Amino acid sequence: MTNAITPRDRLIVALDVPGATEARDMVARLGDSVSFYKIGMELIYGGAGFDISRALVADGKKVFIDLKLHDIPNTVERATRQLATLGATFATVHAYPQTMAAAKRGAAGSSLKLLAVTVMTSYDDADLQSAGYAFGVRDLIARRALQAREAGVDGLILSPEEAEAMRALLGPDMLLVTPGVRPAGAALGDQKRVMTPARAIAAGADHIVVGRPVTEAADPRAAAQAIVAEIETGLTQRR
Ligand code: C5P
């Protein structure tokens, strides 16, 4: 948990739009209110994601490539090496020990930081059992979080509800990045367990990922600025 990151850099806006035009329009509307964007499967598989990522980096923005890599080690290593050429700040991998070690090798020598996804938040204990796991959600998250630290991965993606416990388990050095964040009064969309930006940051999150409350706001720029103000409040509430 570092205090060196600026409040604005702590907000990562999920650019969950289908194409280049929508992405460019949103980035232009947000202007300097947002410095960090998450580019995910929709924009990348739609074809525009990597060009948009390069353009954002060239423009001085930070980029988080959210492709949640998971394959045999050779493929993950080589895919990560390709992602590292984009100039992105973060990329995601699933928190399997082989996968994380391979991604580390692929990112070696670059500034790309790796974030591990421990257990998808759509999974509950029954889902894990039917998928053949011996652990419930809570235990599997803790096990994988420790394996991620062991693998030298830089941080974790996790629900804000897990931030405090993971911070206590992992200590200050792992980056904790939390989606599932909703400003007070914002629509939940399909998110069920949410926290406000201030609470997520106070609980130990380093960055928060927010999509629709910004991108679907009548005034996205004002929405982003209000979230950054909430982040500032959260920083003052950290223990
Ligand atoms: O629009 P919203 O704020 O819900 O967007 C959150 C972003 O974070 C989306 O890109 C979503 O896919 C991602 N995400 C999430 N919950 C997770 C993992 C990722 O909402 N557990």
Determine whether the shortest distance from the Cβ of 40 to ligand 1 is under 6 A: yes
Residue 98 pLDDT: 98
Determine whether the shortest distance from the Cβ of 115 to ligand 1 is under 6 A: no
Range of the domain at 129: 2-238
Spatial CB neighbours of 96, under 8 Å, sequence gap ≥ 6:
70
**Contact in structure between 234 and 198 (CB atoms under 8 Å):** yes
Confidence check: pLDDT of 2 > 70: no
Average pLDDT over residues 57-64: 98
Confidence check: pLDDT of 192 > 70: yes
The tally of domains found in the chain comes to: 1
Instruction: Provide the CATH number for the domain around residue 108.
Output: 3.20.20.70
Q: H-helix or E-strand containing 89?
A: none
Atom of ligand 1 nearest to the CA of 117: 18
Catalytic residue, from 38, 68, 104, 113: name it.
68
pTM of the model: 0.96
User: From its phi and psi, is residue 188 left (phi > 0), alpha (psi between -120 and 50) or beta?
Assistant: alpha
| Tokens found for residue 72 | 């045999």
**Contact in structure between 174 and 154 (CB atoms under 8 Å):** yes
Q: How would you class 109 by CB atoms within 10 Å of its CB: exposed for 0-12, middle for 13-18, buried for 19 or more?
A: exposed
The 10s digit of each residue's pLDDT in 78-119 is 999 999 999 999 999 999 999 999 999 999 999 999 999 999
